[in-house]
A and B are shown apart, each in its own frame.
Chain A
Amino acid sequence: MLKVKTPKNRRVQRELEKRAPRLVEKGKKTLLLQGTKTSNVLNTVLSEIYHLKRDNAIRYTRKNDSIRPFESGGETSLEFFSMKTDCSIICVSKAVRQLEFGSTSKKRPDNLVIGRTYDHHIYDLIEVGVENFKRMDSFTYDKKLAPQAGSKPFIVFSGEAFESVDELKHLKEVLLELLRGEVVDNLNLAGLGRVYVCTAISSNRVFLTHCALRLKKSGTTVPRIELVEIGPSMDFVVRRHRLPNESLRKDAMKTAKDKTHKKIKNVSKDALQGKLGKIYVPDQKLGEMVLPNKSKGVKRERREAKKKNSTNEPASKKQKEDS
């Protein structure tokens, strides 16, 4: 037997409705958390990303031993967190401890795993090493330029590696989704104030920085732009990445059919003849058409009597036919 379970109060119902799949989505929430090992640099990176995305991000501050995104079985608790918080972009910090190789010590840098989920299952993953990190505090600039929290940022990518190298192509997509913020229809031009600048330095290294905008008068409606670096800035070195399964990707790329464009029937365009229309004429039913009874075989008196009757009685009927 089955029983219908519904939320006990309206608040829970609203929350559930928010989590329901929708035709047109409004950006993804981000979950920032620490993996098995973490370093001071990575913690700062995560907290600064959280600071920049405060409006739709969740930050966990405990160590999570069971999270190993690239290993099989290590993603279960990650998927659980994604389900719990309803987040679809996940950043896991993962510092690898210093490894000793003979006499020389080689330091493996701080890794940040950025992943996306589809239907609360891991969709793709990319692991980047963070280098040359400069935190927000280390930049000095005119505080008047400081952008408003939650404002929609510009994102700028440059470098041919973003198109030629697979890893960077992947990273570009992930970064775009991580940084772009909420998808909006209407934009307030007065609220624009910040840019993320991503530049591919080499085939596996990306320089990312966060800048404020200074709008200057240019004499036209379009202002002249100047960039002021406000941080944080860092280098991403791509290490491992896992692309989505092809069938999953196909499923995830589906979009809602645009209902605004209604298909116009029976109208086609021709280069020579221009706009063409098709007209369907309904069946005339000529066989069923009533003809005026003027048969000549009937005697004149009867014919006239019939005519007289028909004009008298079905006058109203005729009118109906006319209308």
Chain B
Amino acid sequence: MDTQDEYQVDLGNLMAFDPFHHFTSMPSSREELVADCLSKGTELVQSIVSGIFNLPSTEDIDGPLVKLPPPTTKLPREKPLPKPKPPTRWEEFAKAKGIRNRKKDKVVWDEQTGSWKRRYGYDRVNDDADIPIIEAKMTDEPGVDPFAKRIAERKERVQKQQKNQLQNLKTAAKAGALPSHVQLAATALPITGTQAAKKKFTKDELGNVAGLASTATASGGKFDKKLRGEKPVKNQGKHRKFLPVVEGSGIGSQEKEQTERVLSKLISSNSHEILNVDKAVTMYNVNKERKRRNQYGKPSSTRNEHGKSSSTWNEHGKSSSTPSKLKPNNKPMKAKSLPNKGKGSFSNKGKGSFSDKGKGGFSDKGKGSFSKKGKAK
């Protein structure tokens, strides 16, 4: 028993501690050190063992059983202490009123069927489905189905109970004493506070989805079995179609056309880049210069030369595949040819227009007037 006082022994943990042990001289080798430690350990274990074997034991098939005292070494907990559950609204009320729980039988005598039935649950007494007749009373409203009313009332009671349960769970959660297997999950954002109503699908939407689903096979639903009287699906969704690459008579040419259309569209939209503006401007300038020189030098031959030059311009413009190339060059051409043509046109126009107008106007009026005058004469 000397050792018991010397060592701190915790029988609950089967632990012993010698707080006074120290090496008087450090052992020289590892083996000696281990041997020292083991001899000290043996003493300590012996003290625990003597403590345990002196405890009252009971015989068991496997060996003597000993009831250990609780551990004395204080160790930290793994998890915080469980908090007591706050009383529910009913428990508070019952306490205030002094209502005590009384045991009820699980089974009740059912007079309608003449048998013992469960009080609650499946095949219970007074089940809604079991009642064949509800006697009419004087207070009954006409036009109300008593059976439906009974079911509705029961549903209401159940809903109320669920609401109360949730309320009690909320208070328990606030106290941090929610049962471990229960979680309270938010069904809506706390800001809005309202639960979004579940969206009901319209018939059209369902039809569209069904159409999409029916074509979601490798064959696009071509070989799927159709039910008798099944209508063709409405919205099949978009599927890419590939035209044959190999040239043929019918669809084969479509592929080529398609690519050509795309290409021409691309080129035409980007065609302004094909025009070399610098070149066009220099050409215009050169031509203008040449024309000016010709006018001053040989006025007679200008027309011919010019006509030639204009024709070459035109030819050049026509030969190029893009008509747009002509556009900027046409303008200078017009400007150049104007003085030549202008003479003619002015003379022609001036003559024609004056003569025509003068003739017509005068003739109409004059004639009529003259003739009338003449006749009158």
Residues of A bordering B, CB below 8 Å:
1-7, 12-13, 16-17, 19-23, 25, 28, 88, 116-119, 123, 132, 152-163, 172-173, 176-177, 180, 183-192, 195, 197, 199, 201, 207, 209, 211, 213, 221-227, 229, 233, 244, 249, 251-256
Contact = CB atoms under 8 A, between A and B. Distances in A.
Contact of A186 (B53, B65, B166): B65
A4 to B, nearest CB: 6
Nearest to B75: A177
B14 A154 contact: yes
Contact of B71 (A21, A117, A163, A183): A183
Identify which of A186, A189, A201 gathers the most chain B CB atoms within 10 Å of its CB.
A189
A30 to B, nearest CB: 12
Contact of B63 (A132, A163, A188): A188
Given A188-B62, A225-B45, A20 B22 contact: no
A234 to B, nearest CB: 12
Nearest to A159: B21
A156 B17 CA distance: 6
B343 interface: no
Interface string B256-296: 00000000000000000000000000000000000000000
A227 B81 contact: no
Interface stretch (B32-40, B97-105, B345-353): B32-40
Contacts of A161: 22
Given A160-B22, A186-B68, A21 B82 contact: yes
13 contacts: A2-B187, A4-B166, A4-B183, A21-B80, A21-B81, A155-B15, A158-B37, A159-B18, A185-B68, A195-B45, A201-B23, A211-B38, A223-B53
Contacts of B13: 155, 176, 180, 183
Contacts of A23: 81-82
Identify which of A1, A116, A176, A221 gathers the most chain B CB atoms within 10 Å of its CB.
A1
B76 A152 contact: no
B169 interface: yes
Contacts of B242: none
B21 A160 contact: yes
A119 B79 contact: yes
Contacts of A192: 49, 52
Nearest to B51: A222
A183 B187 contact: no
B180 A19 contact: yes
Interface in B182-200: 182-188, 193-195
B63 A189 contact: yes
Contacts of A195: 41, 45
Contacts of A185: 67-68
A201 to B, nearest CB: 7
A35 to B, nearest CB: 23
A270 to B, nearest CB: 30
Contacts of A249: 76
B64 interface: yes
Given A2-B185, A180-B14, 4 more contacts: A2-B187, A3-B186, A183-B12, A233-B34
Given A25-B78, A252-B76, A153 B42 contact: no
Contacts of B67: 185-187
B228 interface: no
B20 A1 contact: no
A20 B36 CA distance: 45
Contact of B186 (A2, A22, A221, A251): A2
Interface in B50-108: 50, 52-54, 57, 60, 62-68, 71, 73-82
Contact of A16 (B38, B48, B54, B181): B181
B64 A189 contact: yes
B231 interface: no
Main secondary structure of the interface of A (DSSP, over half): mixed
Contacts of A207: 33-34, 37
Given A159-B18, A180-B13, A221-B53, A17 B165 contact: no
Contacts of B33: 201, 207
Contacts of A221: 53-54
A132 B67 CA distance: 39
A123 B165 CA distance: 36
Contacts of A251: 80
Q: Which 7 pairs across A and B sit closest by C-beta, in order of nearness?
A: A190-B63, A20-B180, A252-B76, A197-B41, A21-B79, A5-B183, A156-B44
A160 B41 CA distance: 14
A16 B178 CA distance: 12
Contacts of A180: 13-15
A118 B19 contact: no
Contacts of A172: 17
Nearest to B44: A156
Given A2-B186, A4-B182, A189-B57, A229 B34 contact: yes
Contacts of A191: 62-63
A5 B21 CA distance: 57
Contact of B52 (A16, A189, A190): A189
B255 to A, nearest CB: 55
A186 B195 CA distance: 54
Contacts of A211: 38, 41
Contacts of A189: 52-53, 57, 63-66
Contact of A229 (B30, B38, B50, B80): B38
A3 B186 CA distance: 6
A6 B23 contact: no
B303 interface: no
A188 B65 contact: yes
A25 B80 CA distance: 10
Contacts of A12: 181
B64 A188 contact: yes
B212 interface: no
A152 B15 CA distance: 11
Contacts of B327: none
A206 B302 CA distance: 120
A185 B11 CA distance: 11
Contacts of B234: none
